[in-house]
Amino acid sequence: MLQPNNPELVQKIENFVTGEGATATKLFDASKMKLHSEVRDMCAADKCNQYGKNWQCPPAIGDLQEWEERLRDWPIGLLIQLCWDLDNESDIDAMMVGSEKMKSIINKVATRFREERDDYLPLTAGSCSLCKTCTYPNEPCRYPELAIPSLESIGLLVSDVCKLAGLPYNNGPLTITFSSAILFKGEITN
Ligand code: SF4
């Protein structure tokens, strides 16, 4: 059984993201999440063009061992998805718009619930996008108390997290599904 320390906050955030356009949300046992060095290898291959360009991406974000320890404080997850329609399977423009929409939902959580930030850990899709251009590496992070790591940047395989939550990783032809998560403190009981 998932028992968040602050169930009211979980409900408020779930309601908020749904109001902002999230198409699915689901609580899940985040203590079962596994970090993968292969995901970090994909970051290092720099297919997303963010490796070494963002304080919340590798290598600045810290190693997997550090994150494994950190995640022990956050055993309850709320998976947040945005299923976005495409005109065709290579509709890059729609994919970009959907990606920005997903990031903006999580960014809005970080600003709307900034006073409660000690009670949740947001994990966005892609990379921290609170600033138009990240200050990495020349200046310190502009908003260290608000900055947002991503599922991928801490070594999570998004498809695994979706499976844990029991939500589909994708929703079929002519759609793309973006996934983010908010982690909470709490207990998992039988
Ligand atoms: S808050 Fe701004 S400076 Fe800090 S990691 Fe995010 S984008 Fe970079």
Gap between the Cα atoms of 105 and 100, Å rounded: 9
The most distant pair of C-alpha atoms in the chain lies apart, rounded to whole Å, by 48
Residues having CB closer than 6 A to ligand 1 are: 54-56, 128, 130-131, 134-136, 141-143, 147
Q: Residue 186: which residues within 8 A CB-CB, separation 6 or more? A: 2, 3, 4, 5, 75, 76
CA 144 to ligand 1 center in whole angstroms:
7
pLDDT score of 190 more than 90 = no
- Average of pLDDT values for 51-80? 96
Q: What is the pLDDT of residues 130-148, one digit of tens each?
A: 999 999 999 999 999 999 9
Closest ligand 1 atom, residue 55 Cα: 5
pLDDT score of 29 more than 90 = yes
- Average of pLDDT values for 26-31? 98
pLDDT score of 61 more than 90 = yes
| Six token digits for residue 98 | 């959907």
- Look at residue 127 in the predicted model and tell me its pLDDT: 93
Which amino acid is located at 57 in the chain? C
Single out the residue of 174, 180, 76 nearest to residue 127, CA to CA: 180
- Average of pLDDT values for 3-22? 98
- Look at residue 48 in the predicted model and tell me its pLDDT: 86
**Cβ-contact 163, 26 below 8 angstroms:** no
Which amino acid is located at 36 in the chain? H
Ligand 1 pocket test, candidate residues 57, 100, 107, 134, most atoms within 8 A of CB? 134
- Average of pLDDT values for 105-125? 97
Give the residue, by CA position, lying nearest to ligand 1 atom 3. 141
Chain-wide mean pLDDT for the chain? 96
How many CA within 13 A on the CB side of residue 166? 4
Gap between the Cα atoms of 88 and 52, Å rounded: 32
Specify the pTM.
0.96
